Amino acid sequence: MSNDSFRNRQNGFETMTGKSMNNFSGGKIAAIIVGVIIVLSLVFGATYQIREQEQAVLVTFGKAQAVTEPGLHFKIPYIQSVKKVNTTIQGFSIGYDMESDVSNDESMMITSDYNFVNVDFFVEYRYSDPVKAVYASKQPVDILKNISQSCIRAVIGSYDVDSVLTTGKNEIQAAIKEMIIAELEVQDIGVQLVNITIQDSEPPTTEVMEAFKAVETAKQGKETAINNANKYRNEQIPSAQAKADGIVKDAEAQKTERINEATAQVARFNAMYEEYIKNPTITKERMFYETMEEIMPDLKVIIESPDGNVQSFYPVESFTAQ
């Protein structure tokens, strides 16, 4: 074998060896990269984070379990999956667009006295059961909206137009809320109604709207007059009560005075009667003289004895008198 042939063979062997080493290094690096990716996916796929005002549903082979505690949690990668549910209070409008604040066809309703009104509502809700919210229905919020619309129209249809536009709003809201809550208990979709409020209610035409505004103004005037009358009544009642109490006290005082006076007269009469029983003649004369003295205080009475020797003067005068 010549030197040239040997050199060619040697060069060929070295070239093949270099290629094999390069292929081996490339495969090893790719394997390492794949291994790192798998490890990272296992590490990061084994944990999940639950924030405040949030709950999760952990699914293991199709079995769902609620996870309500916030913080870091672990799961088995590729076996367990997690679906998160926002438990903050959320809301949607019925009868108007929240972005443009323009009424739509949902606001048109009919009252019990066959009048049309535009009524806008805002519904507030929250997810009360994450498992039911995820698996009990496909679109729980849409179900809540349909229930709300049905209950709203049922309640509005039982009130007259005057109540819907003016005085009955609070009562209507309470009735609608109670009806929605009862229906959600039947449906059991994991959604809880927080509140429902009437945003606005008005007639569909400008003329009718002005008429109802005039009615509302008149009612407010009526309420003002009633409040003023009640205020005047509340101011006058204490004064009248004080006067009545004074009259009653005066009457009680006069009653006591009259009773005491009558009691004294009875006692005096009884005493005089006892003396009269002892000596009726003398008592009669005394009473006669006392009565005459009261009637004619300046009258002087001279009484002579039968034999004419003794004279008596009534009233008896002092010997030292002038």
**Does pLDDT of 319 surpass 50?**
no
Residue 147 near residue 123, CB atoms below 8 Å = no
Which CATH number does the domain 89-204 belong to among 3.30.479.30, 1.20.1440.230, 3.40.50.720, 3.30.2270.10? 3.30.479.30
Q: How many CB atoms lie under 10 A from the CB of residue 50? A: 18
If DSSP states are collapsed to H, E and C, what string results for 208-222? Answer: HHHHHHHHHHHHHHH
pLDDT of res. 39: 53
pLDDT of res. 303: 62
pLDDT tens-digit map of 299-314:
666 666 666 565 555 5
Q: pTM for the whole thing?
A: 0.51
Higher pLDDT among residues 227 and 137, named by residue: 227
pLDDT tens-digit map of 249-308:
999 999 999 999 999 988 888 887 887 788 787 777 777 777 877 777 666 666 666 665
In 3D space, the residue among 39, 52, 136, 46 whose CA is nearest the CA of residue 82 turns out to be 46
Domain boundaries, the chain: 47-85, 89-204, 280-322
